[in-house]
Structure 1
């Protein structure tokens, strides 16, 4: 490998162009090639990145000896197949979320990467958000006490997808964050949703996850909503926290709220006392999450280390999504895991 990690990006459209931009400018990386089937996209890439090879053939990109790692920003249905082809060609792989659309495919890709000794990383972007990283630190430090339950909202008016429903389009963001905070196994998953806009493609989905310890998580996903919410609320035994990614400056609010049990009480009403304390808004130095994610992948390839959002972590997200999908098809019946 050269002194720089030589990157081949596959897909340079709606989201892929952001990955191309970040890998092209990242320290320690070189944008060696870009593959896209759209001739107009190819022309744009040639103008913006004249030093990169541009092709419409994935096989041609995989055959390039000056490509060390492949970055996949293609439709979710293609992720597993394209990732396995790249691994077989001796490339390290960054694949956008979700890793696959079935648990079997996600595990197969993960096992193949391990067998071949290649780096496999999934683009669970929110895990690299500086504010969420602070949330992880606060939870793991015990500042909130024991986690009692979590709920997440990822709703807006649009962007409507035709290739996947709201669960698979939006859900990976929130499940990846929830699983960073809760390491224990899931016990059951249930989901209800409806396709109000396009038959067969749910645009509104509500998911409930029960963990073996009794911790609960609820995820609300929609592209048919009057509000834009991107929030995660963590309720602990000591304090409560809200991560609001839509707020321009106050991304995290820590609420000193809850109920205390006095050592002595003489009436039932005195068994619990309400605590409504201060709200702390910690300062969080911000940096573009995608830039941090790209930097992490480059470091993992260079240093041959396991990514923070590697195959095992991505498989867990796919397991939750697949269970929620199965529950949707059964009218909301819980899927026992």
Structure 2
């Protein structure tokens, strides 16, 4: 039996709780933010507001406690790197919650990409009407886009330009557009908290076809080749259940693989660069 402490019980924290309730090998204790984590837990899950992730997680990581941190890992590069240093010193497992890396539909995308030929562009759209008070929309939506892009292009040099507009009575961007260049492959991300519709769509366009990943659709994948559309099949297991299973199993095996943490740090660097660009008249930034 793996004993977990869940810190943060908002909308996503409750999703995690409900998911783990189906695991026969997990016992869960809910801890209020600022509360004491029981000493007998095997691991902790941090699902507090994004701007608090580092402050909540760092003491746990320093103690060597295996820790799952919901995306984004942190909201500054300095905080993200501090978590990496702490994990390297304590040898604690740190898993960052980039749920689409466990989404069966996206895993199928990785299989299908070669059929598109040379990639010409990727367009990402993330829209809803659930604004946050602690960060800009970039920190909410871009972790999804960038985690998937890094799965496709892990070693590419990156440049970014971005523009954003603040929401009423807020200093944070509520709508933003970022254009990343992974080497010379353009990735366009449009994200907003000011939409009456909820939308999560990625469109991959290549010289031989187009693939659409619509995470809100019943058929999440549509492949267009030579004027013919098909709907590739994929496993229907919920992504969060897969992600939690990966973390629980890693805790049970006492692993300390730093891959997820290093990806999380890289994503923070890329988002911070986009935010810097948006705040400096769309100046191009290499990152």
Normalising by structure 1, report the TM-score: 0.80
Whether 1:65 aligns to 2:62 is no
Q: Distance in 1 between matches of 2:22 and 2:231?
A: 33
Aligned length: 287
Q: Distance in 2 between matches of 1:71 and 1:29?
A: 13
Runs of 4 or more off by more than 6 Å in structure 1?
none
Q: Distance in 1 between matches of 2:98 and 2:162?
A: 22
Higher relative contact order (CA 8 A, sep 6+): 2
In structure 2, relative to structure 1, the CA distance for the partners of 1:120 and 1:21 (3 Å cut) is: same
Q: CA deviation at 1:66?
A: 1.8
For structure 2, list consecutive stretches of 5 or more residues without a partner in the other structure. Answer: none
For structure 1, list consecutive stretches of 5 or more residues without a partner in the other structure. Answer: 38-56, 257-275
> Any idea what SS the aligned residue of 1:310 has?
helix
Determine if contact 1:167/1:205 at 8 Å carries over to the other structure. Answer: yes
Alignment deviations for residues 290-332 of structure 1 (CA, whole Å, 9 cap, x no partner): 1111111011212244669711111111111100110111011
Q: CA deviation at 1:160?
A: 1.8
Shifted more, 147-156 versus 307-316: the winner is: 307-316
Matches within 5 A, 1:1-337: 4-31=1-28, 33-36=29-32, 57-58=34-35, 60-61=36-37, 64-139=38-113, 142-156=114-128, 158-212=129-183, 214-248=184-218, 250-256=219-225, 276-305=226-255, 310-337=260-287
Q: CA deviation at 1:14?
A: 2.2
Q: Distance in 2 between matches of 1:307 and 1:30?
A: 23
Q: Distance in 2 between matches of 1:29 and 1:229?
A: 33
Q: Distance in 2 between matches of 1:309 and 1:131?
A: 22
Q: CA deviation at 1:205?
A: 0.2
Normalising by structure 2, report the TM-score: 0.93
Greater Rg over alpha carbons, structure: 1
Give the match for residue 262 of structure 1: none
> Any idea what SS the aligned residue of 1:203 has?
strand
